[in-house]
């Protein structure tokens, strides 16, 4: 079986070598902020957000950018952002104050649509169509999960929330530890315990499963990002204090549960995305980027440049990535 897997892996690599090799094409931006919020709409339209209250947007593939500070809050780190088009976007802060803002005029003005208490800390945002969710750190031993059905104009807590274990944590490294669809809401954690939390929208019930194969046991370890790929759930993470460590840094689901990849990503990874047209997974972190052509079972490194977040565009046509120093890039072949 292992021999077959590696044959398939190297067959995939041969496809890469013959015209399919992924690479990052960096674009120049007018900011120097750490950009952990990323919201690509297409190959041409992309939003980003980050430290210093920064927001920025391109409508021409990164040739030119509009940018500013969300509501003048230059001390706030907006690590989560989602955009539907060049005009409409919603952004959530990480840390205190815990705020959600929305723009309907392309970033010219931002309106405060939700505020949480002093204990709140937002970790991730995820939308499908008009419906979206925000994940926040536990308050009163229960995870915070907010829901919106009107493109982020109004928010309310789910009626039923799962309990958090002592020391269990979610990560806001790339706003990627939460995903959702019309049937369920899913988020993954780390810290003292790496666990997978699944909420059935129809039954209004939670199922929580431990992830013993994932890094955990310390505050810097756990699941940092996940995505769905052709029915599989792909998770990446590790230990952010050990950027080149491959121990417990990835899992993928199959018919028998979760499995460790035959070849793991080449270090701690904070983001992961799936480009359906190429059937290619991309993972990013401070020590570089990797790709997988077999739904997360084998990974190969293709860049040593560090990034924080990686996202597939709303229209499914492009993958963008963002990092420190205002750096943004697009995936090219």
Per residue in 273-332, pLDDT tens? 999 999 999 999 999 999 999 999 999 999 999 999 999 999 999 999 999 999 999 999
**Number of C-alpha atoms within 13 angstroms, CB side, residue 27?**
25
Q: How confident is the model at residue 19 (pLDDT cuts 50, 70, 90)?
A: low
**pLDDT confidence of residue 256:** 74
Nearest alpha-carbon partner for 35 in 129, 173, 214: 173
Digit-coded pLDDT (tens) for 143-189: 999 999 999 999 999 999 999 999 999 999 999 999 999 999 999 99
Distance CA 78, CA 172 (A): 10
Over range 17-21, report the average pLDDT: 59
pLDDT averaged over the chain?
Answer: 94
**Number of folded domains in the chain?**
1
**pLDDT at position 254:** 81
Among candidates 7, 12, 3, which has minimal Cα distance to 299?
A: 12
Range of the domain at 82: 2-332
What CATH number has the domain bearing residue 277?
Answer: 2.130.10.10
Instruction: Dihedral sign for Cα 125, 56, 241, 272, please.
Output: positive
């Amino acid at each position: 079986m292992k021999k077959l897997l590696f044959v398939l892996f190297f067959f995939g690599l041969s496809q890469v070598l013959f015209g399919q090799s992924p690479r990052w094409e960096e674009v120049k931006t007018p900011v120097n902020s750490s950009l952990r919020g990323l919201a690509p709409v297409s190959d041409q339209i992309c939003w980003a957000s980050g430290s210093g209250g920064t927001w920025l947007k391109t409508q021409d593939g990164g040739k030119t950018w509009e940018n500013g500070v969300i509501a003048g809050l230059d001390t706030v780190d907006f690590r989560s952002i989602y955009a539907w088009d060049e005009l409409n976007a919603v952004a959530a802060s990480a840390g205190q104050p815990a705020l959600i803002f929305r723009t309907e005029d392309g970033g010219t003005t931002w309106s405060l649509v939700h505020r949480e208490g002093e204990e709140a800390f937002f970790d991730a945002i995820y939308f499908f169509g008009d419906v979206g969710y925000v994940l926040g750190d536990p308050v009163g031993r229960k995870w915070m999960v907010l829901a919106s059905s009107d493109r982020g104009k109004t928010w309310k807590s789910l009626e039923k929330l799962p309990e958090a274990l002592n020391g269990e944590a979610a990560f806001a490294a790339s706003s990627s530890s939460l995903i959702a669809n019309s049937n369920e809401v899913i988020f993954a954690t780390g810290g003292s315990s790496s666990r997978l939390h699944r909420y059935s929208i129809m039954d209004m019930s939670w199922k929580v499963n431990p992830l013993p194969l994932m890094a955990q046991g310390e505050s810097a370890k756990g699941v940092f990002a996940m995505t769905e790929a052709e029915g599989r759930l792909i998770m990446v993470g590790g230990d952010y204090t050990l950027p080149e460590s491959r121990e417990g840094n990835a899992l993928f689901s199959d018919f028998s549960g979760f499995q460790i990849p035959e070849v793991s990503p080449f270090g701690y990874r904070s983001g992961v995305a799936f480009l359906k047209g190429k059937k290619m997974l991309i993972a990013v972190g401070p020590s570089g980027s990797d790709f997988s052509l077999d739904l997360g079972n084998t990974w190969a490194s293709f860049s040593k440049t560090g990034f924080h977040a990686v996202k597939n565009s709303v229209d499914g046509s492009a993958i963008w990535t963002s990092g420190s120093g205002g750096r943004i890039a697009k995936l090219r072949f």
